[in-house]
Homo-oligomer: A and B are copies of this chain.
Amino acid sequence: MNDIQDSPFTRKLAGYVTLSPVELEVLEQLHKRRRSFAAGRDLVQQGQSEQAAYILSEGWVCSYKIQQDGTRQIIDFQIPGDFLGLRSVLLRTSDHSFEPVTNIQAVEVLAGDLFQAFSQTPRLANAILWAASRDEAMVVEHLVNIGRRDAGARLAHFLLELGARLALVGMGSRAGFDCPLTQYHLADALGLSAIHVNRVLRQLREDRLLTFRNGHVTFDNRLRLVEIAEFDEAYLDHEGPLLK
Stretch at the interface among A20-28, A68-76, A176-184, A216-224: A68-76
Is A136 part of the contact surface with B, judged by Cβ < 8 Å? yes
Main secondary structure of the interface of A (DSSP, over half): helix
Q: How large is the interface on A (under 10, 10 to 19, 20 to 34, 35 or more residues)?
A: 35 or more
| Shortest CB distance A117–B (Å) | 10
| Shortest CB distance A136–B (Å) | 5
Is A67 part of the contact surface with B, judged by Cβ < 8 Å? yes
* B73 A144 Cβ-Cβ under 8 A: yes
A92 contacts across to B, CB distance below 8 A: 238, 242
A interface list, Cβ under 8 A from B: 47, 65, 67-68, 71-73, 75, 86-87, 90-93, 95-96, 115, 118-119, 122-123, 125-126, 129-130, 132-134, 136-137, 139-144, 146-149, 190-191, 230, 234-235, 238, 242
Kindly list 11 other residue pairs between chains A and B, CB separation below 8 angstroms, not including A73-B147, A95-B140: A47-B234, A75-B144, A90-B133, A91-B133, A91-B134, A95-B234, A119-B123, A125-B125, A146-B147, A147-B190, A147-B191
